[in-house]
Amino acid sequence: MSTPRIIDAHLHLDPNSKFYTPEPQLKHLLKLMDRLSIRHAVCTDHLSMYEGAGEGLRNLKSVYEESGGRVYYLGVYHPGRAAACMKTIEEAVLWPGFAGLKIHPSFHGISADAPVYDPVWKFASEHDLAILTHSWSVSDYNPAQTLSTPGKFERYIDKYRNVRLVLAHAGGRGNGRHEVIRLINQYENVYTDIAGDIFCYRLIESLTGSISPDKILFGSDFPWLDPRANLARVMLTDMDNSSREKILRENALKVYKIGK
């Protein structure tokens, strides 16, 4: 049997008090990873989403160890708790398995272009780290998403050209995707992932037809979605094997600088 090679570059662990999270523990994830030939994953935890980097991030250090070095993790920067987060992140950058930073402007209620994000971008720039961010389209049923539309990140993308930014969810199910495509084509340091329920018709084809396959990462958004949902889309899209390998593995290695 060949060694598993796939990397799931966007998922979450542990229960979330705001959303129902079926089977969100590491043991469930590892079972799925083994079943689906997923070698590595890059995760964040839900406690950190609410409180910022702190206890949650320290727990992820154990997750990396318990997973035998398979599940890497990101430190969440909560702009409402900036100083405390940066203190923990400064320690965590030296921990095994630490793979970068995460921001979520719509969840934290502070627009992506606000000055309060500057410390985390500066830190990423100084430590050669990637930032993963939630990105979405303007939404009438969820107005907070306007805080995370892709164009709002541009001032920092432009200012910190050595920071690899992953605009997650491909900008969501609307105009956000066009903005993601524009930013990726304009800036070398911008990437996207397909995590989540972006079940638009021919999403992968529309991305591979507009941007380089070097810029697209596979992600599931486990535990809300079984990795097979997005894995199948990459496997079934008509593309050459080298592009598929980049999306399912190589780009994550490059962006998050994680192990083989």
3-state secondary structure of 67: coil
**Beta carbons within 8 Å of 167's beta carbon, 6+ residues apart:** 133, 135, 150, 153, 180, 183, 184, 190, 191, 192, 193
- Nearest distance, CB of residue 11 and Zn ion, angstroms: 7
3-state secondary structure of 254: helix
CB 144 within 8 A of CB 109: yes
Q: What is the CA radius of gyration of the chain?
A: 17
Report the alpha-carbon distance of residue 43 to residue 223 in Å, rounded: 11
**Which CB sits closer to Zn ion, 179 or 221?**
221
Report the residue number whose CB is nearest to Zn ion: 221
**Which residue in 133, 83, 84 sits closest to 104, CA to CA?**
133
**Is 45 or 221 the residue whose CB approaches Zn ion more closely?**
221
Separation of first and last alpha carbons in the chain: 18
Nearer to Zn ion, 19 or 159 (CB): 19
Considering the complex, state which of residue 102 and residue 246 has its C-beta at the smaller distance from Zn ion.
102
Of 234, 238, 258, the closest CA to residue 248 belongs to: 234
- How far apart CA 29 and CA 23 sit, in angstroms, is 8
- Residue 195 beta carbon to Zn ion: minimum distance, rounded to whole angstroms: 5
Which residues make up the interface to Zn ion (CB under 5 A)? 221
Task: For Zn ion, give the closer residue by CB, 115 or 251.
Answer: 251
Least distance between Zn ion and beta carbon 134 (Å): 7
Q: Which is nearer to Zn ion, 14 or 221 (CB)?
A: 221
Q: How far is the CB of 246 from Zn ion (least distance, A)?
A: 21
Closer residue to Zn ion (CB): 154 or 221 = 221
Question: What's the closest the beta carbon of residue 175 comes to Zn ion, in angstroms?
Answer: 20
Nearest CA-CA partner of 257 in 93, 107, 114: 93
> Pick from 52, 124, 110, 112: which is nearest to 82 by CA?
52
Cβ of residue 220: shortest distance to Zn ion, in angstroms? 9
| Sign of the C-alpha dihedral computed for residues 52, 55, 59 and 61 taken in this order | positive
C-beta of 12: minimal distance to Zn ion in Å? 6
